Amino acid sequence: MNKNGAIIIVEDDKDDQELFGAVFKGLAYKNEIIFFNDGQEALTYLTSTPSEPFIVFSDINMPKLNGKELRKQILENEDIRLKTIPYLFFTTCAEQQDVIDAYSKSIQGFFVKPASFQDLKSLVTIIVEYWKKCESPNYIE
């Protein structure tokens, strides 16, 4: 996990993209923020870039390739899997089966999108700070 790498946000809802963008702008992390409208766009990027992103925030329900299918593709691709990129779901609501399916695919977190900007900002701060403190095989000091 490259703690200085890009933060990937896979989200088809433009309003949620704007909200995430405002949150990260306010938090002023030095990581580049890259948005993708669907899982297929994100997968194309992840399979074609030599860079190692820091973390992926993914919606579940998206066109073309949904979040669960994207996670499955990542797990099946050894080159991406070895980058040890934390993969988190952010969704509007949590159905028990979605949570079970997510954790069966080694998801690192499942979150319901908070209703308020401040709550989202607080949650994103906790998540990013946690992963910035976490060690990974390729970047241990």
Q: What is the pLDDT of residue 140?
A: 60
pLDDT single digits (tens) 15-32: 999 999 999 999 999 999
Which residue ranges make up each domain of the chain?
7-133
Rounded distance between C-alpha atoms, residue 59 and residue 48, angstroms = 21
In the prediction, which pLDDT does 61 show? 87
Token pair 């580049």 is found at 32
Query: Which residues of the chain have a pLDDT value below 50?
Result: none
Per-residue pLDDT at 98: 82
CA atoms within 13 A on the CB side of 100: 3
- For residue 21, the model assigns a pLDDT of 95
Assigned architecture for domain 7-133: 3-Layer(aba) Sandwich (3.40)
